Amino acid sequence: MTAAPMTATPMNSPILWIHGAALGPANPALVAWPGRPAVFVFDDALIAGSALSLKRLGFLYECLLELPVTIRRGDVASEVLAFAARHQADGVVTTAAVDPRFRQLGQAIAARVPLTVLPVEPFVAPEAGGPQPGDLGRFSRYWRRAEPLVWQRFKG
Amino acid sequence: MQSGDSLPELAPGDLPRQFTSRAALQQHLQQLFPSASGALSPIVGGWAAAQERLAAVDPGAYGRSRNHLAGAVTHLSPYIRHGVLGLAAVRDAVLGRITRRPEGEKLVNELGWRDYWQRLWGQLGDGIWDDQEPLKTGHPASSYASELPADIAGGSTGLACMDAFAAELRATGWLHNHARMWLAAYVVHWRRVRWQAGARWFLQHLLDGDPASNNLSWQWVASSFSHKPYLFNRANLERFGAGHHCQGCPAARRCPFDASYEALEQRLFAVTPTPRRR
Ligand SMILES: Cc1cc2nc3c(=O)[nH]c(=O)nc-3n(C[C@H](O)[C@H](O)[C@H](O)COP(=O)(O)OP(=O)(O)OC[C@H]3O[C@@H](n4cnc5c(N)ncnc54)[C@H](O)[C@@H]3O)c2cc1C
């Protein structure tokens, strides 16, 4: 959805940081690195700050139970870094997310170990004629550009 | 409850991965997060549950009925929000299931809304918490209350429809799009509460709670991200399926929604814009 990889450092034994915007088996980090240790961290500051209800946490937990991932809680960046140290990893691989909080956490992690952010397959292929940053004033304008590209895929 | 093949081994501080039942998971979470309110939702998380929902999607029926509370909406939002299903994968599933383009047009368009709000979030960042434009209600932003009144979240307004929506939100973490619009309009326009207070409340509960789709939809209702405030009336609510709440509603005879759009505009706004209706 966003951004190219933050770094392209070659890695041999990274850990995978799984976050709440990519809780499926098609998560590009899980697909690219099958079998590597993966961690999800319940973000204590976010949970308390937003007063998230138990059902939201339960939904995430049930998603995690279907993934090969170690589940932790606490300060996300420190937990991910500690998990990397625990597995003597030479980097962290994760998947892009739009949330500005993801970017902050990513920066905190990347300050200490190499971080690769894999892109997610976009809804609208980034082709010529597609929606540009200047097209987001209203949905109708965005959709005029996006709709034809989305329907190009229809083989009807 | 869980796949056995390659479970990671637990080290100190790792949270458990095996539970005998949902009740056991709930108990574990209550101990782990004592300040998180409520119980589990009947909506189950995970890829298997998402696949069941995806298999049930009927794009044609969706297009014909989506505005009705009992319409054939997909209930995919929590799975899409948390990337259990990618938006591109849902798109492909829809395109693969239809034979003629018109059957899929409505659903593909709604998926486009998600992509649109996400792109805007990328551009605006935490600015999605700020009014994008001045309100078009004629009321200064400062005249809106900054906290959500307790009777709204507690489901004790005495308005059967709004109380039912609040109860469903609290119990399940999901509401039909129309119920979200009505509830948001009630909070912002009838109760004159800042949209941010309503948005924060929704994010506590919605399993699909996403600051982009949520906040920008609240702004669309409020008119800080649209040309006109969104309004509804009782006839609209009855037409799209919330009318059964009116029977036995303690406020049925003094229903604040039972008026023409023109009368509501006069009552609720300091200017007389022509609100959008959906
Ligand atoms: C005040 C308010 C707050 C909202 N908050 C959220 C939110 O926090 N998270 C969220 O995902 N949606 C939100 N929506 C949008 C919409 O109500 C839900 O996405 C939809 O009702 C989810 O049910 P469904 O999966 O059955 O949707 P369907 O109608 O079956 O649509 C299929 C998918 O398309 C996407 N979609 C549909 N309509 C919208 C829309 N208007 N905006 C963005 N995406 C859409 C969703 O991913 C949805 O799962 C909000 C709407 C309003 C009016």
ipTM of this predicted complex? 0.95
pLDDT of res. B20: 97
- Report how far residue A101's alpha carbon sits from residue B210's, in angstroms, rounded to the nearest whole number: 13
Query: Which atom of ligand 1 is nearest to B87's Cα?
Result: 47
Question: Measured between CB atoms, which of B13, B33, B113 is closest to A57?
Answer: B33
Q: How far apart are CA B252 and CA A131, in angstroms?
A: 47
- Kind and range of the H or E element at A72? strand A70-74
pLDDT for res A6: 54
Q: Which residues of chain A from 110 to 149 reach within 8 Å of chain B, CB to CB?
A: 120-124, 131, 133, 136, 139, 142-143, 146-147
Calculate Rg over the CA atoms of chain A.
Answer: 18
CA distance A112 to A107: 9
Q: Is the CB of A86 inside 8 Å of chain B's CB atoms?
A: yes
Q: List the single residue in A with minimal CA-CA distance to B34.
A: A54
CATH class of the region B141-268: mainly alpha
The answer to whether the CB of B45 falls within 8 A of the CB of A60 is yes
pLDDT at residue B8 is higher than 90: no
Percentages helix, strand, coil for chain A (3-state, rounded to 5) are 40, 15, 45
Measured distance CA(B27)–CA(B15) in Å, rounded? 13
Res. A7 pLDDT band, cuts 50 70 90: low
Residue-wise pLDDT for B185-232, tens only, equals 999 999 999 999 999 999 999 999 999 999 999 999 999 999 999 999
Cβ atoms within 10 Å, residue B48 = 11
In which order are the strands placed within the sheet that holds A115-118? A70-74, A38-43, A15-17, A92-95, A115-118
Q: In this model, does residue B4 exceed pLDDT 50?
A: no
Ligand 1 pocket (Cβ < 6 Å) reads B 66, 73-77, 80-81, 110-111, 113-114, 117, 176-177, 180-181, 184, 202, 206, 208-210, 213-214, 217-218, 221
At residue B18, the pLDDT reads 96
Q: How many CB atoms lie within 10 A of CB A49?
A: 9
| Short-list A116, A65, A96, CA closest to B118 | A96
Domain residue spans of chain A: 15-118, 123-156
**Nearest C-alpha of chain A: how many angstroms from B15?**
5
CATH for B47-125, options being 2.40.30.10, 3.40.50.720, 3.20.20.10, 1.25.40.80: 1.25.40.80
Which tokens go with B73?
């909406």
Q: Report the gap between the CA of A125 and the closest CA in chain B (Å).
A: 10
Task: Name the band, by pLDDT with cuts 50, 70 and 90, for residue B272.
Answer: low
What residues of chain A lie within 8 A of the CB of B86, using their CB?
Answer: 24, 26, 120-121
Residue B42 to residues B75, B210, B227: CA-CA distances in angstroms? 13, 20, 38
For B127, how many CA atoms within 13 A lie in the half-sphere containing its CB? 13
Give me the CATH topology for the region A15-118.
Answer: Rossmann fold (3.40.50)
**Cβ neighbours of B87 in A, within 8 Å:** 123
Mean pLDDT of A129-151: 93
Q: Report the C-alpha gap between B55 and B75 in whole angstroms.
A: 12
CA distances from B68 to B190, B207, B236, B276 (A): 23, 21, 10, 18
Q: How far is the CA of B77 from the centre of ligand 1 (A)?
A: 6
- The span from the CA of B224 to the CA of B114, in Å, is 19
C-beta atoms of B15 and A72 within 8 A: yes
Question: Are A143 and B116 a contacting pair at CB < 8 A?
Answer: yes
Provide CB contacts within 8 A for A44, sequence distance 6+: A73, A74, A75
Is 60 exceeded by the pLDDT of residue A71? yes
Q: Of chain A residues 60-79, which have a CB less than 8 A from chain B? A: 60-66, 68-73
The residue-averaged pLDDT of B152-164 equals 97
Domain extents in chain B: 47-125, 141-268
C-beta atoms of A24 and B83 within 8 A = yes
CA of B200 to the centre of ligand 1 (A): 16
pLDDT of residue A128: 78
